[in-house]
Amino acid sequence: MRCGFEWEVATQRKPENYCPSCRAKQVQTVDIGGDKCHPWQGRFDVDDVTPIWEDGSPVKPGRRICGHSDCVNSRHIVEGETHGYSG
């Protein structure tokens, strides 16, 4: 699961005939019960899960305790553990 998108209600600017992906917009933070995820705004590896830098290396590798694969909040990452996700 990725936390970096929220769905907009169709508006005059984005009519209903657009699919949900086209109506999606990036968000800067996602509040999950008082704690905030910081969704990665860059590229993803071929698995469409792992956030990567331009050179292809992983961004903040480790297990995300929040369950969001695109979260780069250091408090949500357990370094040194596999890139699996709880949740």
pLDDT digits (tens, 9 = 90+) for 77-86: 998 776 544 4
Name the residue among 62, 68, 84, 65 with its Cα closest to residue 29.
68
42 forms beta bridges with none
What pLDDT is attached to residue 72? 92
- The model carries a pTM of 0.61
Q: Is the pLDDT assigned to residue 73 strictly greater than 60?
A: yes
CB 73 within 8 A of CB 58: no
| Angstrom distance (rounded) from CA 70 to CA 10 | 25
The set of residues, in sequence order, having a beta carbon less than 8 Å from that of 33 and lying 6+ positions away, is none
* pLDDT tens per residue across span 11-66: 555 556 667 666 667 777 777 777 888 989 899 999 888 899 999 999 999 999 98
Q: Is the pLDDT assigned to residue 10 strictly greater than 90?
A: no
| Angstrom distance (rounded) from CA 27 to CA 80 | 28
Residue ranges per structural domain of the chain: 5-78
| Angstrom distance (rounded) from CA 58 to CA 79 | 12
DSSP state of 9: P
